[in-house]
Structure 1
Amino acid sequence: MGIVINLDVMMAKRKMGLTELSKEVDITMANLSILKNNKAKAIRFTTLDAVCKALNCQPGDILEYVPDCD
């Protein structure tokens, strides 16, 4: 499975919606939705920094490594 993005979990904990986070981080809702739905192939450190500031969290709260179970 690899890296899992738990953005939806942090947004729920902070009671912040996609629209509000999109405006605060200055990222399109479409791109934020890709992150939230775990469809992203990459994330820029500047984006991660902005999301962490907006949600008052650490990168490890958003990114999680889940090893493959073969």
Structure 2
Amino acid sequence: MAIRIKLAELMGKHKYNQLKVATETGIRPATVSLYYHETIKRIEIEHLNKLCKLFNCQVGDLLEYVDENQ
């Protein structure tokens, strides 16, 4: 079981790079990189709010539950 972070997909769809996401949201570039590479250990609600606002999306567009047993 895992939570998948789909930031890279949204960035590709909107043609944003990591620096643009960091600049537009105020999230540190290193943190954006952790979300992008799906290596972040703790997800901040504030970051979800900022990312949803930037991409005009719902939380479900950013996060996905994947059952690894299937």
TM-score when normalising by structure 1: 0.92
Answer yes or no: is 1:23 the counterpart of 2:23: yes
One-letter identity of the residue aligned with 1:21: V
**Does the residue aligned with 1:13 lie in a helix, a strand or coil?**
helix
| In 2, Cα distance between equivalents of 1:48 and 1:69 | 27
Q: Which runs of 5+ in 1 are unaligned?
A: none
**Cα RMSD (Å) of the superposition?**
1.2
Q: Which amino acid counterpart does residue 52 of structure 2 have in structure 1?
A: C
1:52 aligns with 2:56: no
> Tell me, which stretches of 5 or more residues in structure 2 are unaligned?
none
Percent identity of paired positions between Structure 1 and Structure 2: 36
TM-score (norm. length: structure 2):
0.92
Q: CA deviation at 1:16?
A: 1.1
What amino acid is the match of 1:44?
E
Structure 1 runs of 4+ with >4 Å offset: none
Count of equivalent residues: 70
